[in-house]
Amino acid sequence: MIDVLFFPENATQEERQTDWKKIARISDMDFGFDTPKEKSGKIKFSVRVVLINDKDEICVVKSEKYGYMQLPGGGIDKGESIIEALHREAKEETGFLINDINPIGYVLEKREDIRNNHDWDQSVSYVFKALPDKEVGTNYTEDERAEDFRPIWMKLDDFIIEQEKNEGKTESYSGCFSNRRDLEIAKFIKSGGGELGRY
């Protein structure tokens, strides 16, 4: 199946012309969800960053309340370019300014089941590798603070093991997708993906 890669309204020309590799396509069928709803045609655009320190560890955000982990990132706000969203989300979730930024690919999610309570039914996550620069402190949302989010550093292999453990055990609809998305990104990095040009 051929997927067309769409871009947020304020994506720059450089961002649109980047050779984005498809890291993964995730759909309801991957989890056995088979109660489709009427499609809205709306797309959510997001960014994810694989931040690597000098010990060859990656930064992940952990919910101390629920125990799950995810790669830092989030939605692209109205009026933002992809790279602007990346800098903002990295700062908010990891507490670091970032540099040496490499766009590596994208993940497409098709969330078309009635369990999806959002007004969008597709999600595109633009994924980057980067290095930490100056530490400035996190700025979590109220919901994230309620889950006691914390940035932690761990080996890529250990993160893959943790995400694989959660496969099939995640109870929430959204959690199934985010766990698989981050697992696919981590495996892509481990396989040597992500050596594209730099911003």
pLDDT range class, residue 195, cuts 50, 70, 90: low
**Residue 153 contacts residue 52 (beta carbons within 8 Å):** no
Encode pLDDT of 37-48 as tens digits.
999 999 999 999
Name the band, by pLDDT with cuts 50, 70 and 90, for residue 196: very low
Tokens of 28: 């309801």
Structure tokens of 139? 């700025």
Residues with Cβ within 8 Å of 116's Cβ and at least 6 positions away in sequence, in order, are 37, 173, 174
Strands 96-110 and 73-75: unpaired
Q: Mean pLDDT, the chain, as a whole number?
A: 93
What band does 71 get if pLDDT is binned at 50, 70 and 90? very high
The model's pLDDT over 128-163, given as tens digits with 9 standing for 90+, comes to: 999 999 999 999 999 999 999 999 999 999 999 999
Q: How many helices (H) and strands (E) does the chain have?
A: 5, 8
Q: Is the pLDDT of residue 186 over 90?
A: yes
Token couple for 163: 């995400």
What does the alpha-carbon distance between residue 20 and residue 103 come to, in Å, rounded to a whole number? 7
Q: Which domains does the chain have, with CATH numbers?
A: 13-190 (3.90.79.10)
- pTM (global) more than 0.85: yes
| 133 vs 194, residue with greater confidence | 133
